[in-house]
Amino acid sequence: MLDTSAAINLLFVRHGATDWTRTGRYQGRQDTALSPEGEAEAAGLARSLAGMPIATVISSPLRRARDTAGPIAAAAAVPLALDSRLVELAYGQWEGWTQSGIKRHWPEALRLWKHAPGEGRPPGGESLAEVSARLNDLLDCLQQQPSDGYVVLVTHDVVIRLALLAMQEACLAAFRAMRVPPASVHAACLCHGRLFPANKELAAHV
């Protein structure tokens, strides 16, 4: 039986909406700001999570994540740390483009990215394996720093999809099936270097 005495409770939070999420543009490392809708979502997240025993909030350094994380940390009266391992996948030459534009200019690269995400990568960008490696590095560090409360990780679409795959013990072929809307919260338990889904009561709360 798995010993859960060293388990760490995590909340993966995707940043609020931006104008680029609304128009379907690939953001990647572009430092886009929250839209008014996204700012309202960040405030709503802060209110809904304020009653939870949060130990710390760690955010991607990109503005849209920082500005989502700030209200959460302030409402919980805990520190906000920035960690580049939570940054979005680098989309390289695709950043700022919509999928229709990418299909016209990079049809083969897009086809591979869509149908074999574990093998493809955006031109000049990162692979899913590279993002997974830096996420795992962060999780290994967190495992060595026991926490009495929840650790909130404010991050991006691809990072959270990879975390969900790990929780479900699914392969990268299932990457497209993961859905991570802006301002969504995904509860997990980190134990002995592995991610597990949180219990139903916690998932219902968030």
Annotated binding-site positions: 64, 88-91
Answer yes or no: are the C-beta atoms of 72 and 66 closer than 8 Å.
Answer: no
User: Residues 61, 64, 65, 68: is their CA dihedral positive or negative?
Assistant: positive
Instruction: Note whether residue 188 is domain-resident.
Output: yes
Scan for tokens 């709503």, then name that residue.
Answer: 44
Question: Is 111 inside any structural domain?
Answer: yes
pLDDT along the chain (206 residues), means of 10: 70 98 96 98 96 96 99 97 99 97 96 93 96 97 89 98 94 90 96 82 44
Looking at the structure of the chain, the number of domains it has is 1
As annotated, the binding site for substrate includes 64, 88-91
Q: Would you please indicate which residues are annotated as catalytic (active-site) residues?
A: 15, 88
Q: Which residue range forms the structural domain that includes residue 58?
A: 14-205
Q: pTM of the predicted model, to two decimals?
A: 0.93
Q: What is the CATH number of the domain that holds 55?
A: 3.40.50.1240
Q: Is residue 7 part of a domain?
A: no
